[in-house]
């Protein structure tokens, strides 16, 4: 069988890598990597391929930025050509970005079966573009591979056929476990040294959601608060291009303290180390809520809701808004925070389980077995 693995944006790469390696190294498949080009900066894309030791993509669609319709449409047009050329037996999509929905829709219309890795997550917030992507992708996918049982429940409620839903665990944790095993203590010490940071001595921040950074007042208010926080503990903020562009566009000029450190987006290896050694993390990302839960590191999520509630009920995560952020960060700083437990099947073996499900569904390695 011919399998296409689709990636487009930064959070896709660490979800695809473990499956790529499981398929090639253990199961005898020869999958084809399709990169839509939704993220195109070296630091947002290529650097992740390097850290994950992935080969170059077989197809690069060069979709780039644009409005949602433009970006989604460009991916669809280009991906349709790849389908015509490759005639795959299965298309695998990951997560909830525009590339995910674009490729699943295109494949289904060409009668190619689709597997969605990270199915079933719901924020129930329709103002969030990713929520639309999740619902559409799940509605049409043939195989719904969920990271935790709340995903199964959401899908069942929406009427997904039982046979299609499989709880396989969290594939991003596979990558996290692998990279942690690869980083030496000396490398770790060196990185902290380079940034003049000590273990547990700083707050790590990432913010890029439109709801936080696309509106001048909200972005300004957040930056003012972070500046204030940096007087208690250094703040390290690897800044997403979207956030950086908005600060410039809105002409926001906060008199930043020397301990408010805005840096370029960092590569995967570095980001994992920055998390591991932080006092706590403040984020609006999806995946970071999960990584901090695995690392048992306190996490504040600056959003009104999350599609990953298990990181709150079981893990170390809590939601905050501008009213509660100070009280909750003080609570962390004074050592009063939950320890959390790691959810079931977040164990580094999700890719193995996915390949077993593929085999059960009749996806065989025979057509592409390497000699």
Annotated catalytic residue: which of 39, 116, 208, 240? 208
Q: How far is the CB of 6 from ligand UD1 (least distance, A)?
A: 13
Q: Two tokens at 92?
A: 């695998």
Q: Which residue number, 244 or 331, has a Cβ lying nearer to ligand UD1? A: 244
Q: Rule CB under 6 A: which residues touch ligand UD1?
A: 9-11, 38-41, 44, 65, 96-98, 129-130, 208, 240-242, 245, 285
* Residue 25 or 67 with smaller CB distance to ligand UD1: 67
Shortest distance (Å) from residue 46 CB to ligand UD1: 10
Q: Considering the complex, what minimum distance in angstroms separates the CB of residue 303 from ligand UD1?
A: 12
Which residues are bridge partners to 153 per DSSP? none
Least gap, CB of 9 to ligand UD1 (angstroms): 4
**Minimum gap (Å) between residue 135 Cβ and ligand UD1:** 13
Closest to ligand UD1 by CB, 128 vs 229, is 128
Is residue 208 part of the annotated active site? The answer reads: yes
Q: Among candidates 139, 99, 103, 89, which has minimal Cα distance to 119?
A: 139
Nearer to ligand UD1, 166 or 303 (CB): 303
**Which one, 29 or 79, has the nearer CB to ligand UD1?**
79
Catalytic residues: 208
């Amino acid at each position: 069988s011919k399998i296409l693995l689709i990636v487009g944006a930064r959070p896709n790469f660490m979800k695809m890598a473990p499956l790529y390696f499981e398929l090639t190294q253990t199961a005898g498949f020869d999958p084809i990597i399709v990169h839509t080009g939704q993220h195109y900066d070296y630091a947002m894309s290529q650097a992740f391929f390097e850290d994950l030791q992935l080969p170059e993509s077989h197809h690069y669609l060069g979709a780039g930025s644009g409005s949602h319709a433009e970006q989604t449409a460009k991916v669809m047009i280009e991906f349709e050509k790849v389908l015509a050329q490759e005639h795959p037996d299965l298309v695998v999509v990951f997560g909830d970005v525009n590339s995910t929905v674009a490729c699943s829709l295109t494949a289904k219309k060409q009668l190619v079966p689709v597997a969605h890795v990270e199915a079933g997550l719901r924020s129930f917030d329709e103002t969030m573009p990713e929520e639309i992507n999740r619902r559409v992708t799940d509605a049409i996918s043939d195989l719904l591979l969920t990271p935790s049982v709340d995903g199964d429940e959401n899908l069942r409620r929406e009427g997904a056929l039982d046979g299609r839903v499989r709880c396989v665990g969290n594939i991003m944790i596979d990558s996290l476990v692998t990279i942690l095993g690869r980083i030496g203590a000396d490398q770790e010490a060196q990185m902290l040294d380079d940034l003049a940071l000590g273990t547990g001595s700083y707050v790590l921040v990432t913010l890029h959601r439109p709801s936080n950074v696309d509106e001048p007042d909200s972005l300004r208010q957040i930056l003012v608060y972070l500046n204030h926080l940096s007087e208690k503990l250094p703040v390290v903020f690897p800044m997403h291009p979207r956030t950086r562009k908005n600060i410039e566009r809105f002409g926001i000029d906060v008199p930043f303290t020397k301990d408010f450190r805005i840096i370029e987006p960092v590569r995967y290896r570095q980001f994992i180390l920055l998390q591991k050694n932080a006092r706590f993390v403040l984020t609006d990302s999806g995946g970071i809520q999960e990584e901090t839960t695995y690392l048992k590191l306190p996490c504040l999520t600056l959003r009104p809701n999350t599609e990953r509630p298990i990181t709150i009920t079981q893990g170390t995560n809590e939601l905050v808004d501008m009213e509660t952020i100070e009280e909750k960060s003080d609570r962390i700083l004074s050592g009063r925070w939950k320890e959390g437990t790691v959810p079931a099947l977040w164990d580094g073996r999700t890719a193995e389980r996915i390949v077993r499900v593929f085999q059960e569904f009749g996806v065989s390695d025979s057509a592409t077995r390497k000699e």
